[in-house]
Amino acid sequence: MSVYSIDKFLNSKLSEEITYTPSGSDGVIIRACVNRRAMSQHSSQHSDRGINYYPISVVISKSDIDTIKENEDKITLPDITGKMITTRVKKIIMSDTESWELGA
């Protein structure tokens, strides 16, 4: 995915604003593509098979956040019910030259 396309994607109606708080710094509002999943039997089946499962995953641009510290950085966003929550970034699921996919 080119930088143009990730920026275009993150500025589309498919994305939303979240607050990203790097450890030891103030939070910044950035655009992200967020995937929320309810915990279900499906997730427990994944856990039984040793597959990592994250109820929230976010895709963000490296032009917004250039360094990620797993288990230290935080994100604040609405959960599946709309309630604002803050959670730690648990895992870098994927990284390429333009973006991060994070599990929380």
Scanning the structure block, which residue is given the tokens 């309630």?
83
Q: Which pLDDT score, from 0 to 100, does residue 37 have? A: 77
Phi-psi region of 78 (alpha: psi -120 to 50; beta: other; left: phi over 0): beta
Task: Per-residue pLDDT tens, the chain, 104 aa: give them.
Answer: 444 577 777 888 889 999 999 999 999 999 999 988 765 544 454 444 445 678 889 999 999 999 999 999 999 999 878 899 999 999 999 999 999 999 99
Q: Which pLDDT score, from 0 to 100, does residue 72 have? A: 97
What's the pTM value of the predicted model, to 2 decimals? 0.79
Q: Which pLDDT score, from 0 to 100, does residue 7 have? A: 76
91 close to 70: Cβ distance less than 8 angstroms? yes
Q: How far is CA 39 from CA 16, 26, 28, 78, in A?
A: 22, 30, 28, 16
> 92: part of which helix (H) or strand (E)?
strand 91-95
Q: Where are the alpha helices (DSSP H) in the chain?
A: 3-10, 41-48
Q: Which pLDDT score, from 0 to 100, does residue 41 have? A: 43
What is the C-alpha separation between 24 and 26, in angstroms, rounded?
Answer: 7
Scanning the structure block, which residue is given the tokens 């976010």?
58
